[in-house]
Amino acid sequence: MINGRLLTAEFCISTVWNAASFITVKSKNAITQLTGLQFEPACKTANPSMKLFGISDEMVRAFSSRRGDISAELDKVKAKICGR
């Protein structure tokens, strides 16, 4: 309870979501102002993640070691499940 108000999970999640969205917008605006970089939606959903404008998915994959690690682990799991 805060100030006599019972906090529901829905209220807490909504508050965190709104704060995160606000911070994301502020961060993107600051990056654009400082560097000139632009952002575009990474996918076509109601609330898409953003990626740098003009950077192809192939380029991101080429420089993303985390994606490579995840893909390698996924291949291991697939092989284990499929018995390969």
Can you give the pLDDT at residue 84? 60
Token pair recorded at residue 62: 């080429």
CA neighbor of 39 nearest in space, from 49, 78, 47: 49
Reported as a pLDDT band with limits 50, 70 and 90, residue 3 is low
Cβ-contact 51, 42 below 8 angstroms? yes
The tens digit of pLDDT for each residue in 23-75 reads 888 888 999 999 998 988 877 777 667 888 888 888 877 887 787 888 889 89
Q: What residues does 25 pair with on adjacent strands?
A: none
